[in-house]
Amino acid sequence: MPINIQPVLNLMQSILQSVGQVNNLLPPSILPPSLLPTSFIAPPIAQGILYTEMAIPVPQPPGVTGLPPNVYFDVSNLFTAEQKQKIKDSISGVLFTWFLHMSQKWNGGANNGLSQLASCSNTYATKSLRPVWYHGVAITNGRKAAEVAMDQIT
């Protein structure tokens, strides 16, 4: 089954914008690395390498199998060390929130629990619950919106 990585790419673009990088560092149409020309992915330049690989550990929640130990990103060397750390911290934070949600939802193997995130979302999320990339069953409450978002990360 093909995996839709557009939500992850949207998240990455938001992270890059939040650390103060201008939009022109990103291609107008973000494509997954597998679809980019080889010359675009980490091409060597005279002063060094244009990209540095960043490995981020993937937490392993109970009930979710087949996860890789790490996710890898090629991060532009135009970012400062501080900005690269902010990017890494942001991605790690998203993965940790996902891990907590999935662990609480697992509920000792019943996989019917209510995570703190879903509970909070159900209370406070009341409008625009359907992301533009989501084409499934209608989302009617904040809990369902949180569960759809977390399942898409998986």
Residue 66 lies inside a defined structural domain of this protein: no
Residue 128 lies inside a defined structural domain of this protein: yes
Residue 43 lies inside a defined structural domain of this protein: no
| Per-residue model confidence (pLDDT) at position 65 | 87
Mean pLDDT over 65-70 rounds to 90
CA distance 84 to 90: 10
Residue 33 lies inside a defined structural domain of this protein: no
- Give percent above pLDDT 90 in the chain: 25
Domain count, the chain: 1
Residue 131 lies inside a defined structural domain of this protein: yes
Range of the structural domain that residue 115 is part of: 1-23+80-154
φ, ψ dihedrals at 39, nearest 5°: -65, -20
Q: What is the pTM of this model?
A: 0.62
Q: Is residue 87 pLDDT above 90, yes or no?
A: yes
| Per-residue model confidence (pLDDT) at position 16 | 58
Residue 6 lies inside a defined structural domain of this protein: yes
Residue 31 lies inside a defined structural domain of this protein: no
Three-state secondary structure call for residue 52: strand
Q: How confident is the model at residue 76 (pLDDT cuts 50, 70, 90)?
A: confident
**How distant is the alpha carbon of residue 139 from its chain centre?**
20
Q: Is residue 86 pLDDT above 80, yes or no?
A: yes
Residue 62 lies inside a defined structural domain of this protein: no
